[in-house]
Structure 1
Amino acid sequence: MPPLRDLPYRRATILSRSSAKGRVAEVGGTLRVLDLTEPSVREAIQKATSAKAAYEGDMATEY
């Protein structure tokens, strides 16, 4: 989980200037994305107990 938690803060500026603004993962047969440019998503990642929980949460959307 640390790499997922650290990424939004290390790359927030870079991501806001690029087209790659999210992280995609397959969860339950569905591709889900977390938009790391959104402060609320970064906060949800910090509170998540696992990467799977982050992608299954309300902040992730279908890709």
Structure 2
Amino acid sequence: MRAGRKADDWDAWMLSLPQYELRRDAHGKAMGIQLPSDPKRIRRVRVSPERKRALEVLAELRALGL
């Protein structure tokens, strides 16, 4: 946690080697990877209290058929 700020949510994405696509800027400098829409697995490492409550409310609404 940073001083005076809440910690961000953190997810770990597991990708197969062919799913890694290096992104480069206009000068060819590496900027990061393009995340695929179908990762092998996403594991939530940390969920903020706000996100946790939002997920609970969403589950409750779905249980009601909304």
- Fold similarity call, TM over 0.5: no
Pick the structure with greater CA Rg. 2
Q: TM-score, normalised by structure 1?
A: 0.23
